[in-house]
Amino acid sequence: MSLLRFGSIHCVPIFHNRIQFAREVRRAFDALKPDIVALELPDIYYSDLLQGIERLPRLSLLCLRQNTSNLTYIPIFPSDALIEGLRLARENRLPTALIDLAVQDYADPLVHPPPLPVPDEEAINSLGLEGFYKAVRHHLPHPVQLSVPDQRREAHMAARLNDLQQRFERILFVCGMSHWQGVRKHLADGKGELGEHTLESVDAPFLAKIGPKARPALLDEMPYLVLRYELARRFGLDYHRDALLRKLLQDARNAPALKEEAYSPRELRNILQYAYKLAVSDKRVSPDLYNLLLACKQTLGDDYAIEVLDRARDYPYTDPDKLPEIEFDPNEGFWLGGRKITLQRRLPLPLDADSQRSWEQLKITRKKREELPKGSMALWFFFGFYSHVPEDLILEGFIDRLGDKLASEAAFTEVKTQPFSGSLLDGIDMRETIRNHHLGKIYVREQTRRMAPIGTWVLIFDEDLSQERYPWAMSLSAEHHNESDIAFYASNPALHPVTRDIIRAHYGALLAFKPALPLAHKLDGEDLMVDEQLRKEHLLRLAIQYSPQPGILYFAREAPEPYQFERARAEGKQLYHLPLSRVSQRQLKRIQRFHLLSHRDIRKIADDYI
């Protein structure tokens, strides 16, 4: 016997303001083809609710004033299952019964139990609604544990449903997840009892529109998903949360501020997979906004996470109607008509496993933007060209790791095997130990590098080093003994100003000397002025000529010409080639982009913009 049916009543138990339950109401409506829709709402608000529904997709609150600054409200959102039931009945010209009882001060937080540890609603896709209800109902309060107002409401709803059963053959009943068990018990015992409405305000209820900043604060779902559900509903499209989360990541990738990043589909796929793993660790089926932003932040950084956040929280409908507007300030709360107010929901909060967690805890930093005035380009001719220290550290760490990658190549590693004599060295040589088992000895391996110490790095990020793509040739000296002297060909920084004191460019090729060169051998821009067809060969010639160590690492897609290896050996140097493919594209893009500052003092504020 179905737990969701009683006589002619088919119940859809819901958590409020969740798109999945609105979809379940729609699915049950199409399958049952009911004669009437019964909803857990008081009938005294029927006309006000209809006015709010006519305004959709613009969002409204039906406000019930309890005192000057305290408002109880019923949300009229596309994502709410009760509103979906009312809309379906109106669109299909079916009667609607609002059968709940209006109770005084029902929104008092003491009336409702705390959020319960139950599965998120996306589990319905695999369990079905009834399977989901079976999994959840053991965590719900027993009818006798409910408050007196809730018990009165359930008895009233049971009495109304008993009356409807006498007149209709198929009744679709939509109510809160925690109420169906009590209503069903009243129906089974025949103990339903009609009550009298207790008006919750002296003043008449009124509709209020929601300002742009208040929308994300009041919608329990991502506004992005709520809007897409409304569009899917209006145009008869399928709604798939997983596909929409992918679309959200793609929309953020195409943001103008991230155009140069060119994030790949694989990177977006990795983010989504990571977000689902985070959801599983939180005992969820599908990632929420917190999971999604954490995955973005830890994978592609704050800049991308900000773009995802802005789109996830955007509900772009303008609202020209002349209604009282509720706005939100993160520091001061909600405001109505210039007065600070307290909002309390008449419907209970969704039963999330962790209601205290919020994306604000992630501390995603939004970089500052500066509007550049006309004529500011002239200021860049007076730049002192100071590097951005965090990028220096990244570059120095990168070139050091390139040497480690080269050393790990089999061609540059020599392995010696010897009997164990007090140290395991680089591990036991199992093959040699088994081969000499009759001797009763253990053999160990010792790995040694067969390569010269690296003193110069030639990094060719782009094989096309034409003047058009990389017109800027420059050298920078190390500021301390742990830094490298560098020379580079880069893109035009005038095309990518960040502020009047910060410019951005991309390396096409980079030459780095470590330790830094003596003063007599320092390079300047004139040393890099050669024909664009000879730039790669010229950097390699400078590396062979000035390298402070015998080893030279050439990091490029293609290996140097054979004569370059001979030339290096003739100078007493050893040239090594490491393919560009040994490093991920994301890391290469991170290294290629760099910033220069006009003054040393700008380093104090550069992190706010870079």
The token pair at 607 is 């992190």
Which pLDDT score is estimated for 3? 81
Burial of 327 (C-beta count, 10 Å sphere; 0-12/13-18/19+): middle
> Given a cut of 50, is residue 211 above it in pLDDT?
yes
- pLDDT tier, 87 (very low <50, low <70, confident <90, very high otherwise): very high
116, pLDDT greater than 80 = no
Closest C-alpha among 596, 188, 115 to residue 357: 115
Residue 444 shares a structural domain with residue 508? no
Query: In the predicted model, is pLDDT for residue 108 greater than 50?
Result: no
DSSP string, 324-362: -EEEEETTTEEEETTEEEEEEESSPPP--S-TT--GGGG
Stated pTM of the model:
0.75
Interval 350-401: pLDDT, tens:
545 444 456 666 677 766 665 555 555 545 545 567 888 888 888 888 888 8
pLDDT of residue 268 exceeding 60: yes
Q: Are strands 60-65 and 36-42 parallel, antiparallel or unpaired?
A: unpaired
When pLDDT is averaged across residues 259-277 and rounded to a whole number, the result is: 88
Residue 576 in tokens: 């090594």
Q: Which of 449, 470, 501 finishes a domain?
A: 449
Same domain as 421, residue 542 = no
Instruction: Print the domain residue range for 581.
Output: 378-407+453-608
Among the listed residues 521, 515, 517, 568, the one whose alpha carbon sits nearest the alpha carbon of residue 540: 568
**Hey, what are 145's tokens?**
């544990």
- 565 and 594: one domain? yes
Q: In this structure, are 28 and 153 located in the same domain?
A: yes
The pLDDT value given to residue 228: 92
Residues 426, 485: one domain? no
Residue with the two structure tokens 């609150």: 61
The total number of structural domains in the chain stands at 3
Q: pLDDT at position 247, please?
A: 93
**% pLDDT > 70, the chain:** 86
| 442-452: average pLDDT | 77
Asked whether residue 316 is assigned to any structural domain, the reply reads no
On whether residue 191 sits in a domain, the answer given is yes
121-167 residue pLDDT tens: 888 888 888 888 888 887 777 666 667 777 888 888 988 988 888 88
Share of the chain above pLDDT 90, in %: 20
pLDDT digits (tens, 9 = 90+) for 476-517: 888 888 888 889 999 887 777 777 778 888 899 999 998 888
8 A C-beta contact, residue 15 and residue 74: no
Burial of 168 (0-12, 13-18, 19+ CB in 10 A): middle
Are 507 and 483 in contact, with CB atoms under 8 Å apart?
Answer: no
Region 176-188: what's the mean pLDDT? Answer: 86
Residue 460 above 90 pLDDT? Answer: yes
Q: Residue 118 pLDDT > 80, yes or no?
A: no
Omega before residue 350 within 30° of 0, cis: no
Quick check: helix, strand or coil at residue 575? strand
The answer to whether the beta carbons of residues 606 and 502 sit under 8 Å apart is: yes
Q: Classify residue 202: in a domain, yes or no.
A: yes
